[in-house]
Amino acid sequence: MNNSPKRVWITGASSGIGRALALHYARDGVFLALSGRNEARLQDVARACEEKGAQVEVVLLDVTSREEMIRYGQTLSSAGVPDLVIANAGISGGTGAAPDGEPLDQMFEIFDVNLTGVLNTVAAILPHMLKDNKGQIALMSSLAGFSGWPGSPSYSASKGAVRLYGEALRGSLQNTNVRVSVICPGFIRTPMTDVNKFHMPFLMDAEQSAKIICHGLQKNKVRIAFPWPTYVFSGFLGLLPGWLGLFLLSKFPTKPMQ
Domain annotation covers residue 2? no
Q: What is the pLDDT of residue 67?
A: 98
pTM: 0.90
Domain annotation covers residue 1? no
CA dist list (Å): 68 to 128, 186, 256: 16, 30, 31
Domain annotation covers residue 165? yes
As for how many domains the chain has, the answer is 1
- Higher pLDDT pick, 71 / 235: 71
Active site residues: 155
Domain annotation covers residue 76? yes
* Per-residue pLDDT reduced to its tens digit, 1-30: 446 899 999 999 999 999 999 999 999 999
Domain annotation covers residue 195? yes
- Higher pLDDT pick, 231 / 142: 142
* Per-residue pLDDT reduced to its tens digit, 97-139: 667 788 999 999 999 999 999 999 999 999 999 999 999 999 9
CA dist list (Å): 40 to 63, 181, 233, 249, 253: 18, 30, 38, 38, 33
Domain that holds residue 212: 7-249
Domain annotation covers residue 44? yes
Tell me the backbone φ, ψ of residue 8, rounded to 5 degrees: -130, 135
CATH number, domain containing residue 89: 3.40.50.720
Domain annotation covers residue 86? yes
